[in-house]
Amino acid sequence: MFAAMPAPVNDPNHGFCRDCLTLQRDLSKRCVQCGSPRLARHPELYSLHIAHIDCDAFYASVEKRDNPDLKDKPLIIGGGKRGVVSTACYIARIHGVRSAMPMFKALEACPQAVVIPPNMEKYVRVGREVRAMMQALTPLVEPLSIDEAFLDLAGTERLHGRPPALVLAQFALDVERQIGITVSAGLSYCKFLAKVASDFRKPRGLSVIGEAEAVGFLAEQPVTLIWGVGKAFAAVLERDGIRMIGQLQKLERNELMRRYGTMGDRLFHLSRGMDQRVVHADQEAKSVSAETTFDTDLASAADLVPILRALSEKVSARLKKAGIAGRTVVLKLKTQDFKLRTRNRQLSDPTRLADRIFQTGMQLLEKETDGTKFRLIGIGVSDLSDDARADPPDLVDTQSRKRAMAEGAMDALRDKFGRHAVETGYTFGKRRNAHPPEHLDD
Ligand code: TTP
Ligand code: MG
Ligand code: MG
């Protein structure tokens, strides 16, 4: 049916119906086909291709789907160990309930709310189902969390027979029908504004921010809309009399960088809607890694190396347990101002040895320890394969063969006496420096 219609063209008066996807060729308030008021119109509707999709009140929507009695009731998912709200459905939000609010406050605001403790296993499962549907649209899916991802739909028009805006609208309908929850989507020319847009008309929203309107739109928004401007940094800006993005637009780049360092550079670009970051396909599921966030930011190799060693051992232990090995070593650093640095190096053959992971990580780290303060370090391997081809003795030099043998001996001792039974010189006595390493992914 769709193919028989005339092709969609960019025209401020044209658009489509988000319920039956029929193209609209005038400015009427309701769909010419089905009468729905949910129409999408925008002058750049058919030329934008960076999308951000986020599920609406995710945990609560899943619970409502599984118990229709809850449909019209205010619902809070929360409680549990931390005693805070994980999320609230949109009915409970009308009463003022918000994520991260202490439970007792939430129940003061909305005493009639139904409270359900989170069932993470279920949400992870549903999140994966939604993600699989995204991956059917484009390989360029970059997940940000359990319920959201960026998608780059450039070049998919021939595959889908429709431009990205219509693909998104169809996707939202498909998720509703097939999974039983709702999503909101944002469409723009860059990641920053696609994410802003998806949050703009929740729930069941489809918002578009085009290039022509970006600067004007941003001028009217508070600085907290900018990625990385949290409460603390907003307070710094507030002290300088800056509350709205429009005020940042009036400041030169040099001035912003003089005042706020590298964060100033981000403020300069994002305030003007300039964001060159590309959508990276999800490769994390194909890697094994470990990372840790420090109590206080660290800059020196002396501080970072022992942590890198401990993390390498952790990655190695997981590889050995899973019977796999990785050929590319990836070092991840997050700077004090939340800039992410990832560096990687490919090995001649896959490894599962802590020492090879660590030594390669050290080489990558060497170039980064230039006085920059870091808040996080992570190490991992990607390019995974089973470990039959890993660390071939004849290809690994004599030194590392010795280390590999020593590592085998240490593994045996650890198996017998526990993980901390044997410590290398790098980690000995250093474990207190950081939070326990966390898994990045599986
Ligand atoms: P969000 O996408 O931030 O929120 P949401 O999906 O509940 O609501 P919205 O419609 O505004 O997108 O987070 C996704 C899930 O992550 C959320 O359902 C519960 C969980 N979560 C927490 O556990 N604690 C939090 O503080 C936040 C923000 C989310
Ligand atoms: Mg959400
Ligand atoms: Mg989300």
Based on the domain organization, do 410 and 329 belong to the same domain?
yes
* CATH, residue 376: 3.30.1490.100
What's the CA-to-centroid distance between 362 and ligand 1, angstroms?
37
Backbone dihedral angles phi then psi of residue 213, each to the nearest 5 degrees: -100, -10
Count of structural domains, the chain:
3
Percent of the chain with pLDDT over 70: 87
The pLDDT tens digits for 121-151 are 899 899 999 999 999 999 999 988 889 999 9
| Ligand 1 within 6 A of CB of 55 | yes
| Ligand 1 within 6 A of CB of 123 | no
Q: Considering the domain boundaries, does residue 60 fall inside one? A: yes
The pLDDT tens digits for 381-419 are 988 877 667 787 655 555 666 677 777 777 777 766 666
Based on the domain organization, do 246 and 193 belong to the same domain?
no
* CATH, residue 153: 3.30.70.270
Percent of the chain with pLDDT over 90: 70
Rounded CA gap, 305 and 431, in Å?
12
Find out whether 184 and 202 touch, Cβ atoms under 8 Å.
Answer: yes
The residues annotated with a catalytic role in the active site are 148
Single out the residue in 222, 249, 271 at which a domain terminates. Answer: 271
Rounded CA gap, 78 and 100, in Å?
9
Based on the domain organization, do 76 and 172 belong to the same domain?
yes
What's the CA-to-centroid distance between 86 and ligand 1, angstroms?
7
User: Residue 236: is its pLDDT beyond 80?
Assistant: yes
Q: pLDDT value at position 88?
A: 97
The pLDDT tens digits for 241-270 are 999 999 999 999 999 999 999 899 999 999
Based on the domain organization, do 403 and 295 belong to the same domain?
yes
Mean residue pLDDT across the chain: 89
Q: Give the 3-state secondary structure of residue 382.
A: strand
Based on the domain organization, do 414 and 381 belong to the same domain?
yes
Rounded CA gap, 164 and 153, in Å?
6
* CATH, residue 237: 1.10.150.20
Q: Does the annotation place 411 within a ligand binding site?
A: no
Residue 109: give the domain boundaries.
Answer: 42-209
Rounded CA gap, 340 and 369, in Å?
14
Q: Considering the domain boundaries, does residue 22 fall inside one? A: no
Q: pLDDT value at position 180?
A: 98
Q: Considering the domain boundaries, does residue 167 fall inside one? A: yes
Find out whether 326 and 350 touch, Cβ atoms under 8 Å.
Answer: yes
Based on the domain organization, do 134 and 173 belong to the same domain?
yes
Rounded CA gap, 220 and 294, in Å?
36
Based on the domain organization, do 141 and 179 belong to the same domain?
yes
Find out whether 311 and 378 touch, Cβ atoms under 8 Å.
Answer: yes
What's the CA-to-centroid distance between 145 and ligand 1, angstroms?
9
Mean pLDDT of 151-161: 94
Would you give the end-to-end CA distance of the chain in angstroms?
Answer: 43
User: Residue 435: is its pLDDT beyond 50?
Assistant: no
Based on the domain organization, do 254 and 296 belong to the same domain?
no
pTM for the model: 0.69
